[in-house]
Each structure stands twice: as structure tokens, then as C-alpha cells.
């Protein structure tokens, strides 16, 4: 097996892009619509993390959850809090060593750092 690329459902294109691109600093790799007024499907990436986001009704359920390993979850939390983003104030869970966020469509993102055994 190789890499897993989760697909997350979204509803509001502008708000979703503000969250993933402006706040989390992902890059849009590509976007696809069958026609101009059709739902958007896009790929975002940051470092080794790749996400697919879809407006298509049948692709996936809103409110999904994913875990993404990061180098330093605490530092990520501090970086995000410093941005004072209107829709997210991420907390830190020291038990799981992770920062958890909910995107504008209700998907849960858990950014964690593996703790040494």
C-alpha cells in the first residue's frame, strides 16, 4: 500500500479556502469542475500532506475526522493562535499531543506529534 489521500466534503468555497489556504497555509494544487456552475473538487497540499476537498454530494459525508502527523503539534498550535483567525482558536491536548480543529463544514482535523516511547 502507499499514501492515503482523504476526501473531505465542503459547502462554502470561499470560507473553505480561507480556512485551508489562508489559515492552515495549504496550497491549491489543482481544481476541477465539469462545468462552470458545477461543484468544485480540488487537491490541496502542504509538505507531505495531501487532501482532496469536494462539493460533490455523493463523494463523502461532512463531519469526517482525519489525523495528520506533524513535526511539532505544540508549535503548530502557537503559530495558528497567533493568526487570530475568526473561526478557529485551536486548543492543545497534551494527552494525545495534538491540536484539533474543525473546518467550516464540520470536518475534524487532528494534527499530532508522535511521542517518544
CA distance between the termini of the chain: 26
- 8 Å CB contact between 48 and 68: no
Q: What percent of the chain has pLDDT over 90?
A: 81
pLDDT tens readout for residues 66-113? 999 999 999 999 999 998 888 788 999 999 999 999 999 999 999 999
Q: What percent of the chain has pLDDT over 70?
A: 98
Q: H or E element: which one contains 80?
A: helix 73-82
**Domains of the chain: residue spans and CATH:** 7-112 (3.10.180.10)
Those residues whose C-beta lies under 8 Å from the C-beta of residue 42, and which sit 6 or more positions away, are 28, 29, 30, 31, 32, 52, 53, 54
Residue-averaged pLDDT of the chain = 93
Taking the CA of residue 20 as centre, how many other CA atoms within 13 Å lie in the half-sphere pointing to its CB?
A: 29
- 8 Å CB contact between 62 and 102: no
- 8 Å CB contact between 95 and 113: no
Distance CA 117, CA 114 (A): 9
Residue corresponding to grid cell 495534538: 98
Amino acid at each position: 500500500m502507499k499514501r492515503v489521500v482523504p476526501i473531505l466534503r465542503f459547502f462554502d468555497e470561499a470560507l473553505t479556502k480561507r480556512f485551508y489556504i489562508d489559515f492552515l497555509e495549504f496550497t491549491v494544487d489543482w481544481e476541477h469542475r465539469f462545468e462552470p456552475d458545477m461543484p468544485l473538487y480540488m487537491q490541496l497540499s502542504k509538505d507531505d500532506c495531501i487532501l482532496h476537498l469536494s462539493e460533490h454530494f455523493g463523494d463523502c459525508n461532512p463531519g469526517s475526522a482525519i489525523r495528520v502527523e506533524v513535526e511539532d503539534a505544540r508549535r503548530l498550535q502557537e503559530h495558528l493562535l497567533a493568526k487570530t483567525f475568526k473561526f478557529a482558536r485551536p486548543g492543545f491536548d497534551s494527552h494525545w499531543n495534538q491540536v484539533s480543529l474543525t473546518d467550516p463544514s464540520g470536518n475534524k482535523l487532528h494534527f499530532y506529534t508522535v511521542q517518544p516511547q
